[in-house]
Copies of this chain bind each other. A is one copy, B any other.
Amino acid sequence: MSDEVFSRIDASSHKYLEDLKEFLRIPSISALSDYKAEVARCAQWLKEHMITIGLQKAEVIPTSGHPIVYGEWMGSDSGRTILVYGHYDVQPPDPLDLWQTPPFEPSVREGRIYARGAVDDKGQVMMHLKAVQSLLEEYGKLPVNLKFIIEGEEEIGSPSLDEFLVQNKDRLSSEAVVISDTGWIAPGVPSITYALRGLSYIQVDVYGPKSDLHSGSYGGAVMNPAEAIACIIASLKDDKGRIKVDGFYDKVVELTSQEREEFSKLPFDEESFRQALGVDQLYGEEGYSTLERLWARPTLDVNGIWGGFTGEGSKTVIPAEAHAKISCRLVPDQDPEEISDLLETYIRKITPPGVRVEIQRMHGGKPAIVPIDHPINQAAARALEKAFGKKAVFIRAGGTIPVVASLKEILGLPSILMGMGLPDENAHAPNEWFLLDNFYGGIKSVAALWLDLGAA
């Protein structure tokens, strides 16, 4: 049965790609308040597109932040209902000068589409819409009922989503969620992600003298805030890459020896991984492999640091303040709020004398895990094999989809993570791309999954 739809998808590929480009041209950057109107425009576009492809209902639902786009098609014979989650907002594109083509002018080169949001997550949202479109065009109906929540605040931690889920619990009733916002372990190896890391994100602000000082007239007499923040950061890890924050590892579920063995069999080549990143050597917590560090160990990274004179030339100044954005990736059973508390306590403890520290809580997300043998995880594996002609593997991911934890807690639903990204795809970095073969194969996978679930 899927053959007919697959042919239709092949025949429509050019048209589907043009629709994706239109979606990508809207700079829906949720983190920057200047782009609020663009985010709203994107939501409106998405709603209209849902109607165009044949959903029965579509709606832009305001929140206290950026709107949520809701859509549904509820006329299936099987009576099964699946919720699809995705996001139409994107990361800021800077540094702009490192993009080969502008981030919001999609460009196809060597079988990839380059644009901010290409793979994270507009391209993958579009896969779902095009699967629906092709099924409706082919059969006039869908094999399962579908409800879509496509939000506009994923990249800033989904601050409005939980309230929406609480208020719309009945309307969203379904048996599971399918999300395409993850990636494959390697090109050509379709992958389903069964666990995600969580996130705890803070900003550390260090304040010293009340204004910038001449380093000649004052150098030697005051604690320099840029040095203070460097000392704070340097004190967060030991020389084995282990995080020194008191209590940080207390709730970490250690990997089983079976998991470690299965990870080691996956097609992951540390040397190619290293080369692709362009570093002389990989580096991480002692005692763990790279995959273990990425998937099952918590981490701490400085995402940004700034203070003092950062322009051309040399300015002999002692900065009045310095700042850092710091985030931790968390694993089961770490709690983001608790980790932020531990971080704050520890940073206050190690702040050098002569400066004042302030800590802002940014967003967080809980880590998540869904069993490999969940029936829809298994159906997804069959759908991927049908679409790509290759056996799917089960992996973890280092990234965070905080909504997965919310969907579990508020709606009681497991999330099936069937994403089509690839390593080195530059999500959150300049020159983000999405492999077109995975875009088209992703459309087929989604269609095959609905057919599989409808037939069961």
In the assembled complex, which residues on chain B have CB atoms less than 8 Å from the CB atom of A282? 221-222, 354
In the assembled complex, which residues on chain B have CB atoms less than 8 Å from the CB atom of A203? 314
Which one, B91, B183, B232, B297, contacts A315 given CB within 8 A?
A: B91
Q: Which residue of B lies closest to A33 (CB)?
A: B312
On whether the beta carbons of B283 and A301 are closer than 8 Å, the reply is no
Q: Please measure, in the bound complex, the distance between the C-alpha atom of A280 and the C-alpha atom of B355, giving whole angstroms.
A: 7
On whether the beta carbons of B31 and A327 are closer than 8 Å, the reply is no
On whether the beta carbons of A309 and B98 are closer than 8 Å, the reply is no
On whether the beta carbons of B218 and A277 are closer than 8 Å, the reply is yes
On whether the beta carbons of A283 and B222 are closer than 8 Å, the reply is yes
Q: Please measure, in the bound complex, the distance between the C-alpha atom of A183 and the C-alpha atom of B308, giving whole angstroms.
A: 24
Query: Which of A14-22, A43-51, A170-178, A208-216 faces chain B?
Result: A208-216
On whether the beta carbons of A398 and B94 are closer than 8 Å, the reply is no
Closest CB in chain B relative to A455 CB, distance in Å: 35
Q: What mask results when residues 298 to 310 of chain A are scored 1 for a CB within 8 Å of chain B, else 0?
A: 0101111111111
Q: Please measure, in the bound complex, the distance between the C-alpha atom of A236 and the C-alpha atom of B226, giving whole angstroms.
A: 13
In the assembled complex, which residues on chain B have CB atoms less than 8 Å from the CB atom of A302? 224, 226-227, 230, 307-308, 319
Which one, B199, B305, B308, B426, contacts A216 given CB within 8 A?
A: B199
In the assembled complex, which residues on chain B have CB atoms less than 8 Å from the CB atom of A431? 211
- Verify if A197 is at the interface (C-beta below 8 Å from B): yes
Closest CB in chain B relative to A41 CB, distance in Å: 19
On whether the beta carbons of B309 and A303 are closer than 8 Å, the reply is yes
On whether the beta carbons of A311 and B32 are closer than 8 Å, the reply is yes
Q: Please measure, in the bound complex, the distance between the C-alpha atom of A242 and the C-alpha atom of B426, giving whole angstroms.
A: 42
In the assembled complex, which residues on chain B have CB atoms less than 8 Å from the CB atom of A197? 216
On whether the beta carbons of A214 and B427 are closer than 8 Å, the reply is yes
On whether the beta carbons of A224 and B92 are closer than 8 Å, the reply is no
Q: Please measure, in the bound complex, the distance between the C-alpha atom of A309 and the C-alpha atom of B325, giving whole angstroms.
A: 8
- Verify if A36 is at the interface (C-beta below 8 Å from B): no
Chain A 217-233 residues near chain B, CB threshold 8 A: 217-224, 226-227, 229-233
- Verify if A322 is at the interface (C-beta below 8 Å from B): yes
Q: Please measure, in the bound complex, the distance between the C-alpha atom of A333 and the C-alpha atom of B212, giving whole angstroms.
A: 29
Q: Please measure, in the bound complex, the distance between the C-alpha atom of A325 and the C-alpha atom of B285, giving whole angstroms.
A: 29
In the assembled complex, which residues on chain B have CB atoms less than 8 Å from the CB atom of A316? 199, 201, 303, 327, 400, 428
- Verify if A362 is at the interface (C-beta below 8 Å from B): yes
On whether the beta carbons of B301 and A306 are closer than 8 Å, the reply is no
Closest CB in chain B relative to A399 CB, distance in Å: 3
Q: Please measure, in the bound complex, the distance between the C-alpha atom of A298 and the C-alpha atom of B235, giving whole angstroms.
A: 25
Closest CB in chain B relative to A269 CB, distance in Å: 13
Further contacts, 15 of them, CB under 8 A, given A208-B279, A209-B278: A31-B314, A98-B212, A203-B314, A210-B277, A210-B278, A210-B279, A214-B399, A219-B398, A220-B329, A220-B398, A222-B277, A223-B279, A283-B354, A313-B362, A314-B363
Residues of A within 8 A of B (CB): 31-33, 91-92, 94-95, 98, 156-157, 183, 197, 199, 201, 203, 208-224, 226-227, 229-237, 273, 277-285, 290, 293-294, 297, 299, 301-319, 322-325, 327, 329, 352-356, 362-363, 397-400, 423, 426-431
> Could you list 10 examples of A-B contacts with CB < 8 Å?
A211-B431, A212-B428, A227-B234, A227-B236, A230-B231, A282-B354, A283-B352, A304-B317, A309-B325, A316-B428
